[in-house]
Amino acid sequence: MKKKILIETVVDIVCPWCLVGKKNMLDAVRESNSEFDIEIRFLPYQLDPTTPQEGVPRLEYLRKKFGSESRLQTAEGMVMKAAQASGAELHFDRIQMHINTFDCHRLIWWAGQQGRQLEAVNALYDAYFVHGTDLSKTDHLVQVLGQAGFNSEEVKNFLNSEAGTPEVESLLEEMQNLGISGVPFFILNREAGISGAQPKEVFLQAFRQI
């Protein structure tokens, strides 16, 4: 009988390191499928909850955050190197807006009620980091989830309601109470944690140790 492992994956949609870490984690899960029965659950984190709902120009936001263009280029270069090593696709040049991710997290929570979190997460990351889609706009979120096989009308109705708001707020508070101060962060069976976009081998070792 295969040992069960629950991986609670704490991410933010605007975090490129989360994209890389997710790719490495999923590669490790696929490779160890014969050894373990692994369930993946996604939990919310917001790198900057003060970002306006309509978003802000990405370059302007990041230049201010990093203090200079050269520091920003160095930081992005490190992420690109890690993305290339993991096989994750990433196009910073296509992203125009830095967004408030709360509605993205609501959608991920909603997809989880249908057992389809990974589909929603993959679609949102692909839209933002591959195609540069402005996910601050409800119409764009509806389109992205619709293309991923979700019912567009249901997505639109959900986003235009307050559903999922208290649940996501509660989960964000729980992550804070757990002491998580950066993402990605992977919680294994509530027994061990992996911080950062670690290589596939780190996940494989952790699966066997837990």
Confidence check: pLDDT of 204 > 90: yes
Q: What number is the average pLDDT over the span 137-146?
A: 98
Over range 168-185, report the average pLDDT: 97
The residue to which tokens 């589909």 are assigned:
119
Q: Is the pLDDT of residue 185 over 90?
A: yes
Task: Provide, rounded to the nearest whole percent, the portion of the chain with pLDDT above 90.
Answer: 98
Q: 58: closest CA among 96, 93, 92?
A: 96
Domains of the chain: total: 1
| Separation in Å, CA 169 to CA 45, 172, 190, 196 | 10, 5, 20, 23
The predicted-structure confidence for 68-107, as pLDDT tens digits, reads as follows: 989 999 999 999 999 999 999 999 999 999 999 999 999 9
What mean pLDDT is reported for the chain? Answer: 97
| pLDDT confidence bin for 1, thresholds 50/70/90 | confident
How far, in Å, CA of 206 to CA of 192, rounded?
8
Q: What is the pLDDT of residue 69?
A: 87
> Is 48's pLDDT higher than 90?
yes
Rounded to 5 degrees, what angle do the CA atoms 201, 45, 18 make?
Answer: 30
How far is Cα 128 from Cα 92, in angstroms, rounded to an integer? Answer: 9
Instruction: Give me the amino acid identity at 103.
Output: D
* Model confidence pLDDT, tens digit, residues 13-22: 999 999 999 9
The whole-angstrom separation of Cα 19 and Cα 90 is 9
Share of the chain above pLDDT 70, in %: 100
Phi, psi of 89 (to 5 degrees): -90, 135
Q: Does residue 207 have a pLDDT over 90?
A: yes
pLDDT at 23: 98
Q: Could you tell me the pLDDT band of residue 118, with boundaries at 50, 70 and 90?
A: very high
pLDDT at 202: 98
Tens of pLDDT, residue by residue over 4-42, are 999 999 999 999 999 999 999 999 999 999 999 999 999
Q: Which tokens go with 80? A: 């690109």
CATH of the domain at 43: 3.40.30.10
Nearest one of 13, 9, 18 to 83, comparing CA atoms: 18
Task: Residue 53: give the domain boundaries.
Answer: 3-209
